[in-house]
Amino acid sequence: MKNIINLIVQNKYCGLRIDTFITKKKKELSRTRVKSLILKKKLKINNNICEEPSKKIYEGDNILLEIPEPQKASLKPFNYKLDIIYEDDDLLVINKSAGISMHPGAGNFDNTIVNALVNYNKNLSNIGDELRPGIVHRIDKDTSGLVVIAKNNESHEHLANQFSEHTIIREYQTLIWGKLRPQNGKIETLITRSTKNRQLMQVGISKGKKGVTNYKTLEVFENDHAPTFSFVECKLETGRTHQIRVHMSHKGNNILGDKKYKKKFKKFKNIDPELEEVILNLDRQFLHAKVLGFKHPKTKKNLQFSSNLPKNLENILKKLRNTNK
């Protein structure tokens, strides 16, 4: 059965955005979820359908929000061994390998993390997209590292709220071409869909959502036997699509192995042959979600998890360190 939320706006809430008002009154609903429902025409203000999450409200407004009954998707189970870091009755934390998509999409409906989750555990949240049960956030197909999965709707809403409020701890490690200037700092831009390729994102001038990445150079590899690379830690304040990849590209320091945001570099002479081989054979981007921290949706305990770099990425660093000697 669908659920109807009925609210009357009091004077102290005058001038607020409607999505903000609803999440203040119904803390179990994430702002992302409320926005999605509004865009699906599930909101009425004074019996008139409203499709604007940013619409201002006034004293006495009668708010009706329809919460549809969750839909069950018919997803094909995928017999794939998940690397589970942590599990309880409310959530899972997995260490995702590069090369597998988070959820079904164009050209791949069966061999994804979601299909593997359905095979592993039928109890997953189902309040979002029916093809994405349990998925609170995601990382790119060719990125590895930590992801949290919700087993029930209450946990999903609590975790989604933490992502929306930017209280989640997310730290990545990446290897980029060249040296960042300055070597440590913050990149703060708008990020929007590319005007040339809709599958890509780009830094926006006047349009887009704010993206904030704090970065710290951990090591610089610079000598006569290798291209210049920097091993960098990135801490996200926001989580926009391809955020780190776009920000590194914007700085002119593309991520090694990133085929979508790649940049042409001159051929280097006298490069160490073993290093050249591991670089040329890298079939993914050198980007790893190393640290994930959040407040448990039920116990409210702060949890933090860490994941080591995959062996193929660690091997590249080892080769670079050897050439630096």
**CATH (domain of 47):** 3.10.290.10
**Is the previous residue joined to 182 through a cis bond, with omega within 30 degrees of 0?**
yes
Whether 47 is in a domain gets the answer yes
Same domain as 285, residue 246: yes
- Residue 11 φ then ψ, to 5°: -55, -40
Same domain as 114, residue 56: no
DSSP string, 85-103: EEE-SSEEEEEEPTT-BSS
Q: Check residue 274 and give its pLDDT.
A: 86
Longest dimension (CA), the chain: 75
Same domain as 174, residue 152: no
Whether 215 is in a domain gets the answer yes
Whether 149 is in a domain gets the answer yes
The two three-digit tokens of residue 148, written as one number:
């949290």
Judge contact between 76 and 22, C-beta under 8 A. Answer: no
Q: Which of 90, 140, 142, 258 is catalytic?
A: 140
CATH number at residue 186: 3.30.2350.10
* Closest C-alpha to 117, from 106, 107, 138: 138
Q: Check residue 191 and give its pLDDT.
A: 96
Q: How many domains does the chain have?
A: 3
Same domain as 310, residue 177: yes
Same domain as 210, residue 147: no
Alpha helices in 240-298 (DSSP H): 243-250, 273-280
For helices 31-39 and 18-25, angle between their N-to-C axes, nearest 10 degrees = 130
CA distance 194 to 220: 31
Same domain as 157, residue 234: no
Same domain as 176, residue 63: no
Whether 16 is in a domain gets the answer yes
140 annotated active-site: yes
Residue ending a domain, choose from 122, 139, 161: 161
Q: Check residue 144 and give its pLDDT.
A: 98
Same domain as 301, residue 178: yes
Whether 107 is in a domain gets the answer yes
CA distance 98 to 284: 7
Range(s) of the domain holding residue 128: 84-161
Same domain as 204, residue 318: yes
Whether 246 is in a domain gets the answer yes
Whether 309 is in a domain gets the answer yes
CA distance 54 to 15: 10
Same domain as 187, residue 254: yes
Whether 74 is in a domain gets the answer no
Which pTM was predicted? 0.82
What confidence tens digit (pLDDT) does each residue in 127-181 have?
Answer: 766 778 899 999 999 999 999 999 999 999 999 999 988 999 999 999 999 999 9
Q: Which residues in the chain come in under a pLDDT of 70?
A: 1-2, 70-73, 128-129, 263-268, 325
Burial of 107 (0-12, 13-18, 19+ CB in 10 A): exposed
Instruction: Provide long-range contacts, Cβ within 8 A and 24+ apart, for 35-42.
Output: 36/128, 37/65, 37/66, 37/67, 42/66, 42/67, 42/68
Q: Check residue 129 and give its pLDDT.
A: 67
CA distance 175 to 233: 9
Q: Check residue 241 and give its pLDDT.
A: 93
Q: Check residue 234 and give its pLDDT.
A: 98
Same domain as 312, residue 194: yes
